[in-house]
Structure 1
């Protein structure tokens, strides 16, 4: 098609893809998996489609099915109307990508195009996909099509491009048998994960999973497959059970084949012992010459060099499908052939037959194109014809000896025609070999008559039989044979999914995830958990990494031991790939605060909340969202939840947040709240009018006597999640009472240890909101200790560092927040500066500290910069005196804790005793007097007495509670 170039059209269109993302689960754009392209329109930003002459006509010539797209008009042809009225080519590429996938047999209709904020000419193009390789290729071809249609590029051969794309789709697609099983599984809400680029698929999740490879299943016996592959042994076993089989023997040589053929009697069949799909099978060989001629053909298809020679049974070829010991379908297989019409040659008849739209290459379509190869030429000659001859009208010319669909044969459904005796024979054959899914090949004159009377026989038993001939017969009704296969793997009523609890938020999500996992472990569950520290399966760390993304979630769901999953879900994973699963039963959102802003187009807290909200949107109707009612951004997520909502709040009765919750409780809602009592704060679970006391906050080890307010909130969120999955109240209580922030249960999160009389807290705090929370904890803990020591003053020393990819303002704010809580601050940096020059992050932190000092709102009196993390911790310990508090907000907690453990050892104390014990005179607590000069051992003794008193008080409170 040629068009005159318009003077207003761009001479060199330059639409291009600048970024590609593949979302493998729910994401910020779509509830389902999707492809996300960021495209740059270039000069085409100035040219909507109505200013591009011939553009719409060219696209419709290439892809006529675009006329069926409804677009925003809600009616077929709506998209074409938009093209004529004028729309931008980014939107056009979205529709082309969807339609190209449609040409490959993927029925997809969901897509959207949105401008990229702040970048002129850049657009987000989002569209659904089934196979990601096909989806990405469709997007790339769509962009090339747009550019070629704009420039009227005669060198762009769309037919060739489309053929290449369709071949890629055919290579990537599941075969018809696998696809039939997956369609049935999807209809039953059984999730699946593709485990390789072929047909190995996991159905179900965790402990409930089953696997299939085409029509072989987790229940298919390897021994049975080997037996079915040995055709001679199969015949022997069937014959010994009295089932009708042809006479046969195995040979390795051509002379041996001739000898056996003479012994059995002509005509015979010669085939490879370990062959399949009818390859190398020679039938109706009537004399020695034909046996010798076919032997090399069979040998070429044999892996072991062993051939089977068996008596030729005359009749039709029937395939009986047996699933779970029961006959499910029978198809008559007719070899590839053409029927003469008295006008066309055999070659022309083949072309006419192959033009049937149902025929494709391989398993691309329900029928396979007939291949005219040397074997077909020889067979035609054997029937007395040449390919360029015109056969008489009504004459059937065979082009293949066997009726396999893969060689161009057709199928006729005979499921309800079979004689009961034949059905019984086929079922018995499958049982004898031991196959759960078996294809029994009968050769007999008529399947409706008993084969023992008509002279028929079983010629083969096949493992992994193809379903195409049954699901898409050429003649007759299709049989829905995937249903019994899925019934075999997942009997009606059996579960296929494991419960999934997804936890997200700016701060507290790791600790909350660990609390939930700890509660479920107490119930005997084998919990699979992802977190920023790694993947944990049944309390074993199987991978040490930041595992809060979708790939880690899939690893958990693929583990066959997992019967409960707790997924920490981070912002980065959602933006990069979406969720790693299709839905979560419970979504927990702890809070949303300023962190990671300025990255991947997320610039405000409200936008960050939209990202975190994806886990809430992934909650089904029978699921729950556990939301922090004290955070407005989190509370508003309730509008996007299809299931029920459980709120948690730390605000007192009568506050606006509690009033909001009380209104929901009156309508039967659920919540976890704090109730003041004369013994302290009580965590209470409320459901409508019911009120269930859970635990006093000061008795939970993770709260350090109630001082760690953020862990109170985390415990409430964990209790809400456990309540959502019907954990009994006493098990929730027991889980929270036994969860501690020790390094073994919660590595890197509020780990406290004593180093020569100095209380050291190791935590991952790295943003202003987290620093406020942990600063409040340090203040509360210091006040508790000062009160226990008659108001003696305890110095608070902080080791802080900021992540390099945060905004300058965030790092400055982090320093300013820390300045209000610590007497001395040691500023460090992460090993990975994340794009910043070494030392720049530390300078911004110091800037924030100094600004707070200048404003007269700082507690800090000493600021040191030591960039290396371990060196910074060592320096803080030099500054500390016995009795002081040190917060080490670190990135690599394992090595820091190892260093602190070494400091506690006698060898370390001998080499650096003076450094550690002396401390900084400027920070000596004046009120301690002689205690400040006492030995570290005496100071530890004082704290040991304090700890014992505190433990006794807790025990008394516990007894009172019981």
Structure 2
């Protein structure tokens, strides 16, 4: 970015967002999740910050903490220096977005701004985020704010907008309890996924995953929660265990409540049978009239209409937190109150107390604001005060009777003061109810003395108890109670992650992913795999769609059956959302070929390699990158790998690449190479100075007797990945020997089908590099068919197509390559035209074929049949028995169904004496009849 550009005219608020992306994992811009905004400065491209009068001063006045930003200077105040020297407003919007997140409590510091190449005034802004909604809102508000500073908007008040933004951020944030557990998990390198907009969170991956919702876990029993929700049943169970509980009965009417209160003896308590957070609890009721007033208050908060009447136990209110059967924290809960100073009224004291920045609405802060309601006014009158009265100095004025934090109470840590007998009683209560995390409410004069001697009782057992009174006590030391929760879910030494193998490259991704999955399925693993065909969980196709993106990866990681993941990762998903997960244990990069260029800002092979290299950058120190040593661009990725590199190569011994690999292995590295001999080609695994023979290529079914060299390479990559992931050699060998290109194991990838004497190959080939490899296979396969044919030279017919969003030159090149290997080329188009007009892509392919035909290519005939099924029927009609028909398909399921139908019809025709085939077809080596 160049500072101090010339200015022209008057600046206008032209900054606007052109495009927004959310990266949910490692991406081309950052190792961490990030927001990506493409912004256009418009006329502001001519106005750096020092060219707009008063801009920097207003910015720092409204966001003074920007002076803490280092920027590129690497020191505090570096951004201020850039601001005064003159920097572009896109760069300023980046820093404002980061600071807005800090204002909302998210400590985000990473960001960068880069100009979009070739487009003046347009910039890429990326910055980190903790919450997706908060991060996006920060970017939008930052742009509005910068425009406002350029030219004031009378309808925009930054202070109001900032408050609104912070409140939205607080509503989107986790509560204190959930955040404490997530923070502890992160500190232990346990991955987590937020499953909804509230507090449902998955910790761990796949088969190791556990779930939490606030302080309820996947280990919390439903029956235990139901028991804790029924206060009457809870009391009876605790009493049956000899634990101190108040006398109580449940009632449904006011008169029943009065009768029970008289039987128990005043004072009494009325509370809802299944309430929570202290709502509807009425304490210290001295007579029948008080019970009659309290009953409707309690009944309103009872979901089932039952109200408990119990004797009033005097003393202080203590919350004992029991986790996994052990007492972990105790807090004394003091009801919401104010303390008189002899100057301010009760109402003013409440305002002063609520001004504490630690207080917020509900559970959004560590303390809750005090609310003045009718119950509070009555309680005030009972103490001899009104809201306008000035209490004497040091006089405590209660505003609620219960000590719940959610009603404005405060907490005092008493964890290390409790008497051992009281701790034992609390732990026994949690065991009786069956809760893994329980909040035991004690009422007693002093927790340091035995309850059975001083008097007191357990008045309630809570499922999903709040943690904030323990993690953020108003008085005393905080207790790190998230640790025992995570210890319970993931005991020391327990695994939280499943192995992830990610595969990328221009061609061969799907087949390599399937090979790796097949190897580990043979070892008994429950494999979750994503590919362009869909999501496969333990050999079952659960979603049929292009699933090579980050959303599909997250779906696999959420599946509780999966203990091994194999992800096919496409370029589009990386550019759109990043990887969608944090890291992969093994990254496989097959090749970098000229495909998908000209899309989403990727115009060169080097840029495409940078996108694919995101997988390599996501390899941890303990992981491996499996790289194709024969591809120079893939070879360069070794510098981006934090772990170890495993090479695979088909290069001949003595070549520069093989010499490099030999040196790599002598230093203890790993590689998979091809050793050629008179007996055939052998795949060899090298580790240090050891060489281990894996398999003859001609014995691997997927290689068609060693003819399909692309599958030889894919098998080598799969072997290297499986070896890096810990698979024994005999399991890798068995996996590759049993993997074939049948439609069951590899749908749409080099499937061979006999259709009435014709050899039909179904493949996904859709670009020129893939067509070269397919053409090499066709040449090798064609030679064997020619040798065994009784009809002379068999013909080769190819049905080809490509996606419409490729460059014109790439589409034409596909036709040129196809023309070198087929006698007849039938050009079709996909159903999705991807921005082109119908027939446009096919015309480009045809042009490439005809250009090659003029240069003496093999092809003698080219036809355009746009519809896929019609093109396939046309190709089959043009063929004869013994011919080779290669179908490069888009919808392979539909195509295979059509081929099965043709096969059945052919069999029926053979039984009736119909020979089939096209008698008018002219063989390439025959002279055509002029009449034809």
Give the TM-score range, shorter chain.
Answer: over 0.9
Q: In the alignment, what sits opposite 2:640? A: 640
- The answer to whether the aligner puts 1:468 opposite 2:468 as a matched pair is yes
- Looking at structure 2, the residues matched to 446 and 482 of structure 1 have their Cα atoms a distance apart, in angstroms, of 27
1:490 aligns with 2:490: yes
Instruction: Say if 1:913 and 1:180 are closer, same or farther in 2 by CA, change over 3 A.
Output: farther
For residues 806 and 880 of structure 2, what CA distance do their matches in structure 1 show? 34
- Matches for 1:242-391 after TM superposition, within 5 Å: 242-391=242-391
Does 2:184 align with 1:184? yes
Match of 2:56 in 1: 56
Instruction: Work out the CA distance in 2 between the residues paired with 1:358 and 1:412.
Output: 15
TM-superposed CA distance for 1:339, in Å, is: 0.4
Aligned pairs (5 A) from 1:578-593: 578-593=578-593
The corresponding residue for 2:573 is: 573
Note the 1:502-581 alignment, pairs <5 A.
Answer: 502-581=502-581
CA–CA separation in structure 2 for the residues paired with 1:9 and 1:196: 49
Q: Provide the secondary structure at the position in 1 that maps to 2:431.
A: helix
Q: Give CA-to-partner distance per residue, 1:904-931, whole Å, 9 cap, x none.
A: 114675399868423553127769xxxx
CA distance in 2, matches of 1:381, 1:70: 56
Paired residues, number: 921
> Shift of residue 788 of structure 1?
3.8
Distance between the aligned counterparts of 1:507 and 1:345, measured in 2?
77
Deviation (angstroms), 1:309: 0.8
After TM superposition, give the deviation of residue 423 of structure 1 in Å: 0.2
State the 1:789 CA deviation.
4.5
Structure 1 residue matching 2:530: 3-state secondary structure: strand
Question: Structure 2 CA distance, aligned partners of 1:764 and 1:152?
Answer: 57
**What secondary structure is seen at the aligned counterpart in 1 of 2:922?**
helix
Quote the residue 2:83 is aligned against: 83
Separation in 2, partners of 1:9, 1:213: 57
Compared CA separation, residues 53 and 909, structure 1 to 2 (3 A): farther
Q: Is the 8 A contact 1:881 1:924 kept in 2?
A: no
Report if aligned partners of 1:245, 1:458 keep a CA contact under 8 Å in 2: yes
TM-align CA RMSD: 1.6
CA offset digits 1:879-934 (Å, max 9, x no partner): 1111111110010111111111111114675399868423553127769xxxxxxx
> 2 CA distance for matches of 1:10 and 1:717?
60
CA contact (8 A) 1:9 1:53 kept: no
User: 2:553 touches 2:567 (CA, 8 Å); kept in 1?
Assistant: yes
- Displacement of 1:303 in angstroms is 1.2
Whether 1:171 and 2:178 are equivalent positions in the alignment is no
C-alpha contact 1:529 1:537 (8 A) present in aligned 2? yes
Match of 1:951 in 2: none
1:77 Cα deviation after fit: 1.1
Name the counterpart of 2:878: 879
Measured against aligned partners, the alpha-carbon deviations of 1:593-620 in whole angstroms (never above 9, x if no partner) come to 0111111011111111111111110000
How far apart in 2 are the matches of 1:323 and 1:725?
37
Alpha-carbon offset, residue 91 of structure 1: 0.8
1:960 aligned residue: none
Q: 1:158 to 1:913 in 2, by over 3 A?
A: farther
- Alpha-carbon spacing, 1:393–1:872, altered in 2? closer, same or farther (3 Å): same
Number of the residue aligned with 1:34: 34
For structure 1, which runs of at least 5 residues remain unmatched after alignment?
1-6, 928-962
TM-fit CA distance, 1:155: 3.5
SS in 2 for 1:651: coil
Contact 2:403 2:409 in 1 (8 A): yes
Cα distance in structure 2, aligned partners of 1:683 and 1:844: 40
CA distance in structure 2 between the aligned counterparts of 1:921 and 1:41, rounded to whole angstroms: 63
Equivalent residues in 2 for 1:492-891 (5 A)?
492-789=492-789, 792-856=792-856, 858-891=857-890
What is residue 4 of structure 2 aligned with on the other side?
none
Q: Which residue of 1 aligns with 2:103?
A: 103
Once structures 1 and 2 are overlaid, which stretch shifts more, 501-510 or 150-159?
Answer: 150-159
Return the alpha-carbon distance in structure 1 between the equivalents of residues 306 and 709 of structure 2: 76
Q: Is the 2:193–2:202 contact (alpha carbons within 8 Å) kept by the matching residues of 1?
A: yes
| Residue 448 of structure 2 corresponds to residue 448 of structure 1 | yes
Instruction: Decide whether the 8 Å contact of 1:515 with 1:718 is kept in 2.
Output: yes
Q: Secondary structure at the match of 2:143?
A: helix
SS in 2 for 1:609: helix
Which residue of structure 2 aligns with residue 898 of structure 1?
A: 897
In the superposition, relative to structure 1, how do residues 705 and 926 fare at CA in structure 2: closer, same or farther (>3 Å)? farther
Measured after TM superposition, the shift of residue 865 of structure 1 is 0.9
Deviation at 1:374, TM superposition (A): 2.2
User: Aligned residue for 2:930?
Assistant: none
Deviations 1:423-466 (A, max 9, x none): 00000000000000000000001000001111110000000000
Deviations 1:484-529 (A, max 9, x none): 1111111111111110000000000000000000000000001000
- Please say if residues 346 and 391 of structure 2, whose CA atoms lie closer than 8 Å, have aligned partners that are also in contact: yes
1: CA distance, partners of 2:383 / 2:362: 27
Q: Which residue matches 1:932?
A: none
Give the 3 Å change call, closer, same or farther, for CA 846–399 of structure 1 in structure 2: same
Separation in 1 of the partners of 2:756 and 2:462?
A: 73
Give the equivalent residue in structure 2 for 1:957: none
Q: Tell me the distance in 2 between the aligned counterparts of 1:610 and 1:11.
A: 37
1:301 & 1:925 partners in 2: Cα distance? 91
Cα distance change, pair 913–255 in 1 and its aligned pair in 2 (3 A): farther
- 1:337-383 CA distance string (max 9 Å, x none): 11001111111111111122222222222111112222222211221
- Gapped regions of structure 2 (runs ≥ 5): 1-6, 928-932
| Structure 1 residue 677, shift from structure 2 partner | 2.2
- 8 A contact 1:878–1:920 mirrored in 2: no
Query: Retained in 2: the 8 A contact 1:106–1:130?
Result: yes
Q: Tell me the distance in 1 between the aligned counterparts of 2:906 and 2:884.
A: 23
Q: Residue 431 in 1 paired to residue 431 in 2?
A: yes
Deviation of 1:317 after TM superposition, in Å, equals: 0.4
1:404 matched to 2:412? The reply is no
| Cα gap change, 1:901 to 1:247, in 2 (>3 Å) | same
Whole-Å separation in 2 of the counterparts to 1:439 and 1:588: 49
CA contact (8 A) 2:756 2:906 kept: no
Inter-partner Cα distance in structure 1 for 2:833 and 2:909? 35
- Other structure's SS at 1:260 match: helix
Are the counterparts in 1 of residues 756 and 907 from structure 2 also a CA contact under 8 Å?
A: no
Which residue number in structure 1 is paired with residue 3 of structure 2? none
How far apart are the structure 2 equivalents of 1:702 and 1:214? Answer: 50
Q: Is the contact between residue 174 and residue 199 of structure 1 (CA under 8 Å) also seen in structure 2? A: yes
Distance 2:162 2:278 in 1: 31
Aligned-partner Cα distance in 1 for 2:287–2:11: 72
Distance in 2 between the 1:374 and 1:54 partners? 51
Residue 223 (1) aligns with residue 223 (2)? yes
- Separation in 2, partners of 1:717, 1:678: 24
1:403-441 Cα shifts (integer Å, max 9, x gaps) = 111111111000000000000000000000000000000
- Relative to the length of structure 2, the TM-score reads 0.97
Contact 1:671/1:686, CA 8 A, preserved across alignment: yes
Contact kept? 2:879, 2:921, Cα under 8 Å? no
Task: Look up the SS of the partner of 1:905 in the other structure.
Answer: helix
Secondary structure in structure 1 of the residue aligned to 2:249: strand
Write the distance in 1 (CA, Å) between the matches of 2:919 and 2:387: 100
Deviation at 1:623, TM superposition (A): 0.2
Q: Kindly state the Cα deviation for residue 816 of structure 1 after the two structures are TM-superposed.
A: 0.5
| TM-score of the pair, normalised by structure 1 | 0.94
Shift in Å, 1:12: 3.2
Deviations 1:116-153 (A, max 9, x none): 11222111110111110111111101111001111133
SS of match in other structure, 2:917: helix
Query: SS of the residue aligned with 1:685?
Result: strand
Q: Secondary structure in 2 aligned to 1:826?
A: strand
